[in-house]
Structure 1
């Protein structure tokens, strides 16, 4: 069990850092797109590049229309920030002294609900408002769906483990 705690602690910090980076990138991108600070418009206004802060080095590129910017750029980056934040919370549950806890079941539930619903919601929004979705997004949504189903099964196992653990605590 000690190896699980060590591994989950390392993965918790890695995924939490990645979540912060994705969310910071989302907010930085939103700020730059709204204020047009550190944005370079290219190819006769057809594309844009968001530059690294206080430089002219390109950081993120995309099509220069608001439907693309919102539904194929900002929302997917923000969703991955949420994904890694929820994943870090799952790893955090494995760091606790007790493995089967209400906290762990809740974190697994949040993780599987997000993985099952958010990718398909993003595809729906992008197809309605942007008229197209990025190439390969359907494949990514299917992967997230199966990840969500796997997390659902883990949550069911953890819920049953919590119930058995609580019954044992009452019996003693």
Structure 2
């Protein structure tokens, strides 16, 4: 179990850093799009680029319409920030001294629910507001769905382990 704690600790910090980077990039992109700071248009306004701060070096590129900017640019960036934050919380569960806890059960539940329902919600909203979805987005949603189902099995195991551990604690 010591190896699991070491690996989960390393992965916790890596995924937490990735989550922070995604969230900071989302905030920066939103700020840049709203205030047109470090923002340029390309091909007579057909495309846009968010540049690295204080430069004209292109960092993020996309189509220059608000439907795209919101539903196919900002929302996926922000959702992956949340995804990696939830993944880091799951790794945090495995580095705790006690494995079957209410905290662990809750973290697995949130991870499973987010992976099953958020991609579907994003696809529905994108279809409503833009009329189409990016190529491959349905496959990404399917992968997240199966990841959510797999996480649901872990959630069920952890919930059962938590209940058994509580019952055992009551008998002692």
| Range into which the TM-score falls when normalised by the shorter chain | over 0.9
Q: Determine the structure 2 residue equivalent to 1:60.
A: 60
**Could you tell me how far apart the structure 2 residues matched to 1:37 and 1:25 are?**
14
Q: Determine the structure 1 residue equivalent to 2:113.
A: 113
For structure 2, which runs of at least 5 residues remain unmatched after alignment?
Answer: none
Q: Determine the structure 2 residue equivalent to 1:12.
A: 12
Q: Determine the structure 2 residue equivalent to 1:126.
A: 126
Question: Could you say what secondary structure the match of 1:117 adopts?
Answer: helix
Question: Could you say what secondary structure the match of 1:98 adopts?
Answer: coil
Deviation at 1:25, TM superposition (A): 0.5
Q: Determine the structure 1 residue equivalent to 2:155.
A: 155
- Moved >6 Å (runs of 4+): none
Question: Could you say what secondary structure the match of 1:26 adopts?
Answer: helix
Deviation at 1:136, TM superposition (A): 0.2
Q: Determine the structure 2 residue equivalent to 1:167.
A: 167
**Could you tell me how far apart the structure 1 residues matched to 2:167 and 2:76 are?**
42
Q: TM-score, normalised by structure 2?
A: 0.99
**Could you tell me how far apart the structure 1 residues matched to 2:16 and 2:125 are?**
27
Deviation at 1:29, TM superposition (A): 0.3
For structure 1, which runs of at least 5 residues remain unmatched after alignment?
Answer: none
Question: Could you say what secondary structure the match of 2:48 adopts?
Answer: strand
Deviation at 1:109, TM superposition (A): 0.3
Q: Determine the structure 2 residue equivalent to 1:98.
A: 98
Query: What RMSD in Å do the two structures reach over aligned CA positions?
Result: 0.5
Q: TM-score, normalised by structure 1?
A: 0.99
